[in-house]
Amino acid sequence: MKRIFLKSKIHRASVTEDALDYEGSLGLDEDLMKEADLFPYERVDVYNVTNGERFSTYLVKAEKGSGTVAVLGAAALKARTGDKVIIASYALLDEDEIAFFLPKVVLVDGRNHIKEIK
C-alpha cells in the first residue's frame, strides 16, 4: 500500500504579487523551488495563514533570487499581496520507504529569502 506524505514545504512565505488576469499558477523564486525540491508545473497546495483559504495549483519558475511568490489566475481571489502562505508538496511512499523518509522544510524571512532548511 502507498501512503501520501509531506514531501516539502516553504513555511510562511509572503505573497509578493497577485494577478487575477492570468492563466493560473503560482510563480515561485527558482532558488526556493530548488531548495524545496520542487519543479515547474508540479502540483502544490497553498495554505493561506492570513485568511485561512486553501487551494491547489501548479508552479511556474520566477526569477532566481527574487523572492517572488506570485499568486496568479483564479487563486488570486484566495491570496493577496502581503498574505503569509505555506506552500506544500506531497509524495506517495511505499510502506518500506516511510521509516527513512523526512520532508524538506524551507523557512524564509520576510523577503522570502532562505533562513534555514530542515
- Mean pLDDT calculated for residue range 6-33: 96
Q: Which domain holds residue 64?
A: 2-117
List the one residue out of 92, 91, 102, 86 whose CA is nearest residue 45. 86
Which residues carry out catalysis?
25, 58
Is pLDDT of 24 > 90?
no
The rounded mean pLDDT for the chain is 97
Is pLDDT of 102 > 90?
yes
CATH of the domain at 103: 2.40.40.20
**How sure is the predictor about 23, in pLDDT bands with cuts at 50, 70 and 90?**
confident
Classify the C-alpha dihedral 12-13-15-21 as positive or negative.
negative
Give how many domains the chain has, as a whole number. Answer: 1
C-beta separation of 14 from 109 below 8 A: no
